[in-house]
Amino acid sequence: MSSVQVDNGSATETPRAPIGDMKLEVVVVPVSDVDRAKHFYEMLGFRMDIDYVGDHDFRVVQLTPPGSEASIIIGSGITSAAPGSVEALQLTVFDIEAARAQLVERVSPRADPPAALDAPGSPLGRSKSGPRRP
């Protein structure tokens, strides 16, 4: 990282010392149906780390994708954000064709996996536009 200092019309770059290692640990993903979303992510192979039910409509479910150090949290009473309001998160895989083949095996034979993931009624509560594709 660096900053730019401007003095008498000329810009010079001043390097900044690194803060240290930082890692993204958790992303809260607002969903409309916690049980349905939990099932969806487990079907994708996410490990369920915790499913805690508290008082007054409070529930936290933490799930971690295979091979990832970061997790997602879904639940109720944990965020005021609307279901489907998280945009531009990416779940990456090494081999997209192999990942798709695994999804096809796990998803109902009546639904094409991308269509099932894009559907407005999906547990992700996607917006009308759904995910962007190349």
pLDDT of residue 13: 75
pLDDT for the residue numbered 18: 83
Q: Where are the domains of the chain?
A: 27-118
| Tokens linked to 101 | 């083949």
Please give the chain's pLDDT, 134 residues, in tens: 445 555 666 666 778 888 888 899 999 999 999 999 999 899 889 999 999 999 989 999 999 999 999 999 999 999 999 998 998 888 888 999 998 888 888 876 555 545 555 544 455 444 444 444 43
Q: Give the pLDDT score at 117.
A: 52
Question: Measured in whole angstroms, how far is the alpha carbon of residue 84 from the centre of its chain?
Answer: 11
Fold of 27-118: 2,3-Dihydroxybiphenyl 1,2-Dioxygenase; domain 1 (3.10.180)
- Given the DSSP bridges, would you call strands 71-76 and 59-64 parallel, antiparallel or unpaired? antiparallel
Q: Tell me the per-residue pLDDT of 60-99, one tens digit each, with 9 for 90 and over.
A: 999 999 999 999 999 999 999 999 899 888 888 899 999 8
The closest alpha carbon to 50, from 37, 59, 39, belongs to 59
How far does Cα 33 stand from its chain's mean position? 16
The pLDDT of residue 44 is 87
pLDDT for the residue numbered 72: 96
